[in-house]
Amino acid sequence: MRLVLASASPARRSVLRAAGVEPDVVVSDVDEEALLAELGETSPAERVTALALAKARVVAGRVGTEADDDSPFDGVVIGCDSMLDLEGELVGKPGTLEAARGRWDQMAGRHGELLTGHAVIRVRGGEPEAEISGHAATLVTFASPTTPELEAYLASGEPLSVAGAFTLDGLGGWFVEGIQGDPSNVVGISLPLTRHLLAELGVAISALWASAAPAG
């Protein structure tokens, strides 16, 4: 069975690959800012879950219509979206050096809750058949990097394009004191939650292992 990841995130792909699944990657190009504006003052969990579902729906429709008529798509599409709840403020990718520096001024020595919305769509015969969504939350405790450490991290460019301006599996891991909850969720896709959502749609995780490429 094929698994399509509706995300360009190399970190999410790496999590799946390390767990024995080789996903196809199809980027949704959902306008996240426009969708967040439509959602208004909904809860942080509702916002990340709605974004994940929107991405998965776009890609599910795409793989269904682009498949060969003689071999329609049969598999699952997974969409994810991560944001950091920092003292009641929901923040995503900073995008600029100044925004990332300001984010770290807020985070240093404090806690934040990393929220990731997940959506899974079962596609059979090229047609979306069923969908399910949910979210996972992990509490992150941040270190207080020195000014030279922070400036070097910012100069690397890594924090500009990741939710909350940090990573757990990259350079940012040096500045994470601890986590409470699922570490894979902090990287970008919760394996426990994904397994549960797949099971709700009648998909055993072993069906995805069977299609995985051998580790090398």
pLDDT at position 83: 93
CATH 3.90.950.10 corresponds to the domain 2-209 = yes
Nearest to 83 by CA among 105, 56, 37, 50: 50
Nearest to 167 by CA among 28, 37, 11: 11
Radius of gyration of the chain (CA): 18
The total of other beta-carbon atoms located within 10 Å of residue 71's CB is 8
Q: 105 catalytic, yes or no? A: no
- The structural domains of the chain, with segments of one domain joined by +, span 2-209
Catalytic option among 24, 31, 68, 81: 81
Question: Residue 84 carries which side chain, given as an amino acid letter?
Answer: L
Confidence band, pLDDT 50/70/90 cuts, at residue 69: low
pLDDT of 213 above 50: no
DSSP state of 68: B
Residue 12, class by beta-carbon neighbours within 10 Å (0-12 exposed, 13-18 middle, 19+ buried)? buried
pLDDT at position 65: 75
Over the stretch 137-195, which tens digit does the pLDDT of each residue have?
999 999 999 999 999 999 999 999 999 999 999 999 999 999 999 999 999 999 999 99
pLDDT at position 216: 43
Over the stretch 14-40, which tens digit does the pLDDT of each residue have?
999 999 999 999 998 888 888 878 888
pTM of the entire predicted model: 0.90
The total of other beta-carbon atoms located within 10 Å of residue 181's CB is 16
Task: Determine the Cα–Cα distance for residues 201 and 13; give it in Å rounded to an integer.
Answer: 21
What torsion do the CA atoms of 88, 105, 164, 174 make, to the nearest 10 degrees?
-130
